[in-house]
Amino acid sequence: MLQVTPIVFVVDDDVSVRESLELLIRCQSWQPEIFASAQEFLKYPRVLVPNCLVLDVSLPGLNGLDLQRIVAGERTDMPIIFITGHGDVPMTVQAMKAGAVEFLTKPFNDDVLLTAIRAALERSRTALGLEAEMRVLRDCYASLSQRERQVMALVVSGLLNKQVGGELGISEITVKAHRGKVMQKMKANSLADLVKMAARLRPAPAAITAA
Amino acid sequence: MKKTAALSQQKQIAGELDRRVAQRTIELGDAHEELGKNIVERGLMEEKLRQEEQELKQSEARKAAILESALDCIVTIDHEGCITEFNPAAEHTFGYRRVDVMGRHLADIMIPPALREKHRQGFARYLATGEARVLGKRIEMTAVRADGSEFPVELAITRIPLDGPPSFTGYLRDITERKRAEQALRRSEAFLAEGQHLGQIGSYSWRVATDEITWSAELYRIYEIEIGVPVTLELIRSRVHPEDVTLIEKMKMVEQSREGGHNFEWQYRLRMPDHSIKYMHAVAHSTRDQDGQLEYIASVQDVTARRLAEEARDKARSELTHVARVMSLGTLTASIAHEVNQPLSGIVTNASTCLRMLAADPPNVEGARETARRTIRDGNRASEVITRLRALYGKKDPTIESVDLNEATREVIALSWNDLQRNRVIVQQELADGLPLIAGDRVQLQQVILNLIRNASDAMSTVDDRSRQLLVRTEADEDGHVRLSVKDAGVAFAPQSADRLFESFYTTKNDGVGIGLSVSRSIIENHHGRLWATLNDGPGATFSFCIPCGSELATDADDNRDLAPDVTDAA
């Protein structure tokens, strides 16, 4: 994998906070992207490099917690670090439950923030890696024909070729041929490999069939 | 001899006879004349009798007509108390027919059973002793009708002046209506007196030409003068506060000008003998009496209690104002901390970044310089926030200056920005260009704006089904006022509570005390302006105030109430 520059997004309506973070982030050789509102931030296209979001809780219009909900749903590779001028306990709890990496009260120690950003970027990198694998897996699965998918589903559930043929009303020979295709298209080295892949694909079967 | 004697005797007799004949003739003549006279007299007598009879008839007819048409009941009785006359008015009043009562005993017909025995005793006493308690006097008593109902009557009884056994005539009048009217009048008077007493309102009339003054009982009470003491201008003057006495003179001047149809309203003080002070509010109207003389009708109210309450209220309000400020300070502390924390956070981060840049190899001097510049900028921002807060919450006397309402509004919005954002309020500003300056106390006006904005924000704190839009608008209207309105999309208020919103201690918030709007209104009224609330067509409410351009702040010269509304001295 190429060495890419991680992006640190900052959303804070206060210019002092925003711009001071911009310099601090750049100083760490990350790419800062700063925004004064959640709406402005949401217009920025999705990135495929490790990234994280430093987010102020109090924002005009859509506030930080609202934005967190959107990000958690759409951008699983974007961990969030909250910053706030007045952290109250319920708000902190809500943010952490929703998956925030850290919740910092202004003014914060830069080391603490940088450590949090580093951890967030690492998490993002992992998420991106997993996502890339998943993407490959999904692409492979997408290349299967309808019959091949049926055969794969029955094979990974533990049926023998003969049984699969019985289920689908086709000959064992035909099942074998489909099975070979499946192994080839899925780039699976063994039946155990294929079973694992099927398990990983399972969490979002609806999305797969729709694709 | 004997013959001679006989002749002589004969002659004598003849002579005697002649004389007697002659005399008799004379007598007869006289008698005849007398008879003639008698006949004439008798004729005259008869004529007179006829006349008298005629007169009697006429008199009877007149009497009958009187009896017939008299409005009063006329009843006559004989010496035994039996009815001998009963006129139509009596028939009508008592409900009997004349024929049914003639000859019956008065007591059985007209006197209530309870009083009959007394009547009999009185009647018997009169007959025995001639002592009369009721004759020739106007008396009131109770009578009874045929149907048994009793009613008040007024009556006079006279004895008919004839020889023989006494008989009497009674004149009776049903006075039910009069009694009722009297009672109603008494009641009305009692009502008025009680009303005056309760309201501590006295009234008087003053005939200017004669200085004849009539006071109501309550006025005596208010002036603490014994009821009935004749009222003179001197007496009044002795009670009126020396500083207000000139008013009487002024009034007299007006009276003397003899112009009618004036209305006066004035306030003055009384100084009582114990040196306590009473505050009076008087209204007078001039009229002309029947003789065309000027007369004043006035009503005077003792407003001492109200006055004292007002003074207490003003004092309380000025204390409240301070409390309101302190409380706003308390509830805004979090917001203030946030305000200051923002630039502080920037400063800390910048300084850290600066150190990192300088520590790098090679040091990033240009980057460090930039962070230092930003550090200074953020330091200044923090300082501005502090300055603004000090201006808003510092205990300062009101200072009149030219205020740009737009600028003042922007500052308040900036100050409450985070508060608003925390509450997810979207603030829109429509501040009119070229808004005229107003003269006033900037800090006080900002307190009002802050209060309105915070109320609007609070009103939307539970709104989730629509955006929490807050519109702050300024504009100049045609009649020389500058207007500011704060429109929210919140829970609004019940239309019927619109008037109460501005009362002290009235609140619709769970954690509110209810003094913000009342203090705000005081401030705006001190600027000769008006503060009001309306419901929006859509959700929410709009609170607005307008202040005349170039108005001077109302001043209280005599005390240091800096926010209490101006109360003009009533003296």
Among residues B302, B332, B362, the one where a domain terminates is B302
Q: Are residues B346 and B426 in the same domain?
A: yes
Q: Are residues B170 and B242 in the same domain?
A: no
Q: For residue B534, what are the β-bridge partners? A: B542
Closest chain B C-alpha to A30 CA, distance in angstroms: 14
Q: Residue A27 is nearest to which of B367, B374, B418, comparing CB atoms?
A: B367
Contact A27 B356 (CB under 8 A): yes
Most confident of A142-151, B399-408, B444-453: A142-151
In chain B, residues with a C-beta closer than 8 Å to the C-beta of A26 are: 367
Place of tokens 């200056």: B401
Q: What is the pLDDT along chain A (211 residues), one digit of tens a residue?
A: 456 899 999 999 888 899 999 999 998 999 999 999 898 999 998 888 999 999 998 787 788 888 998 888 888 789 999 998 766 677 788 888 888 888 888 888 889 999 999 999 999 999 888 888 888 999 999 999 999 999 999 999 889 999 999 989 999 999 999 999 999 999 999 989 999 998 888 765 444 443 3
For position A117, what pLDDT does the model report?
95
Nearest to B406 by CA among B339, B456, B475, B470: B475
In-domain check, residue B56: no
Q: Are residues B370 and B230 in the same domain?
A: no
In chain A, residues with a C-beta closer than 8 Å to the C-beta of B461 are: none
Q: Which of residues 343-382 of B touch A (CB under 8 A)?
A: 343-350, 352-353, 356-357, 360, 364, 367, 370-371, 374, 377-378, 381
ipTM metric: 0.71
Q: Are residues B142 and B239 in the same domain?
A: no
In-domain check, residue B319: yes
Q: Are residues B375 and B489 in the same domain?
A: yes
Instruction: Give the residue from B333, B353, B357 with the most A CB atoms within 10 Å of its CB, the best one to mutate.
Output: B353
Q: Are residues B563 and B429 in the same domain?
A: yes
Q: Residue B342 is nearest to which of A16, A59, A108, comparing CB atoms?
A: A16
User: Contact B341/A106 with Cβ under 8 angstroms?
Assistant: yes
Kindly state whether A172 is in contact with chain B, defined as any CB-CB distance less than 8 angstroms: no
H helix runs in A52-109, sequence order: 64-74, 89-97
pTM: 0.42
Contact B374 A23 (CB under 8 A): yes
In-domain check, residue B354: yes
User: Contact A171/A161 with Cβ under 8 angstroms?
Assistant: no
In-domain check, residue B29: no
Closest chain B C-alpha to A4 CA, distance in angstroms: 22
Kindly state whether A92 is in contact with chain B, defined as any CB-CB distance less than 8 angstroms: no
Q: CB-side exposure of B352: number of CA atoms within 13 Å?
A: 23
Model confidence pLDDT, tens digit, residues B170-219? 888 889 888 899 899 999 988 888 888 888 888 888 887 788 888 888 88
Domain residue limits at B248? 186-302
Q: Are residues B256 and B148 in the same domain?
A: no
In-domain check, residue B466: yes
Q: Are residues B234 and B162 in the same domain?
A: no
Which helix (H) or strand (E) segment is B66 a member of? helix B2-69
Kindly state whether B418 is in contact with chain A, defined as any CB-CB distance less than 8 angstroms: yes
Kindly state whether A107 is in contact with chain B, defined as any CB-CB distance less than 8 angstroms: yes
Among residues B280, B302, B324, the one where a domain terminates is B302
Asked whether residue B57 carries a pLDDT value surpassing 60, the answer given is yes
List the CATH number of the domain containing B291.
3.30.450.20
List the CATH number of the domain containing B337.
3.30.565.10
Kindly state whether A106 is in contact with chain B, defined as any CB-CB distance less than 8 angstroms: yes
Among residues B282, B302, B322, the one where a domain terminates is B302
DSSP state of B437: P
Give the C-alpha separation, B49 to B56, whole Å: 10
Which is higher by pLDDT, B555 or A53? A53
In-domain check, residue B160: yes
Kindly state whether A100 is in contact with chain B, defined as any CB-CB distance less than 8 angstroms: no
Q: Are residues B191 and B170 in the same domain?
A: no
Nearest to B332 by CA among B439, B412, B224: B412
Nearest to A117 by CA among A4, A1, A10: A10
Upstream peptide bond of A32 is cis (omega within 30 degrees of 0)? no
In-domain check, residue B4: no
Cα angle B428, B429, B433 (rounded to 5 degrees) comes to: 155
In-domain check, residue B222: yes
